[in-house]
Amino acid sequence: MTPVETVLGPVDSGALGKTLVHEHLLSVSEVTWFQWPHLYDYEALMADAVADLQAVKAHGVETIFDPAALGIGRD
């Protein structure tokens, strides 16, 4: 099958399993975050994202594409 570029390098598309192709795990203006950091609890946001990922994994999702652009909280 066709290779797909991932953060860990190329992966055969047949190995991706059930895939969500446009999900944003965290979406926040980095400018806003920098100017008003007290508005965000990074640890809580990450814990929520992990909980969400565990929930979708429990439903058989194996791969998520997060096409976040620079400046909206890529991590």
Confidence at residue 52, expressed as pLDDT on a 0 to 100 scale: 95
Write out the chain's pLDDT in tens, 75 residues.
899 998 889 999 999 999 999 988 888 888 888 899 998 898 998 899 999 999 999 999 999 988 888 877 666
Asked if 65 and 16 touch (Cβ cutoff 8 Å), the reply is no
Confidence at residue 7, expressed as pLDDT on a 0 to 100 scale: 85
Confidence at residue 75, expressed as pLDDT on a 0 to 100 scale: 63
**What are the extents of the domains in the chain?**
14-75
Alpha carbon distance 3, 14 (integer Å): 9
Confidence at residue 29, expressed as pLDDT on a 0 to 100 scale: 84
